[in-house]
Amino acid sequence: MIGGDQDLIAKARGELEQLFAAQDGTTGGTAWARGVLEAEGLSTTSVSLRTTRALRKHEPRLSRVAARYLADLATGRRSPDNSEKGFNPHLE
């Protein structure tokens, strides 16, 4: 079965908590991501393929889903408490 019953948002959160444990988990990861986007000269208000690629270039251990979730957090499209500002069918 493709996809199965996985909760992709929970999986992405768990991955970010592990990768950024020394920087306060998701909160530290979000701050790191904003810094990466600014350093790369990318918009910190919209998510694009370039945004996700830049994050994965700077942290190769990020999965595609976690990178997209982190990009959503860093650009303000999604809040850490999971209240949505925009709908992303790939993370739902």
Query: If you write DSSP's letter for every residue of the chain in order, what string do you get?
Result: --STT--HHHHHHHHHHHHTGGGTHHHHHHHHHHHHHHHHT--SSS--HHHHHHHHHH-TT--HHHHHHHHHHHHTSB-TT--BSS--TTT-
The per-residue pLDDT for 90 is: 56
Quote the pTM value. 0.79
Per-residue pLDDT at 83: 52
Q: Give the pLDDT confidence score for residue 23 in this predicted structure.
A: 86
Per-residue pLDDT, 6: 65
Mean pLDDT by runs of 10 across the 92 residues of the chain is 68 92 89 94 88 95 94 86 54 52
Q: How far apart are CA 22 and CA 53, in angstroms?
A: 23
pLDDT at 8: 85
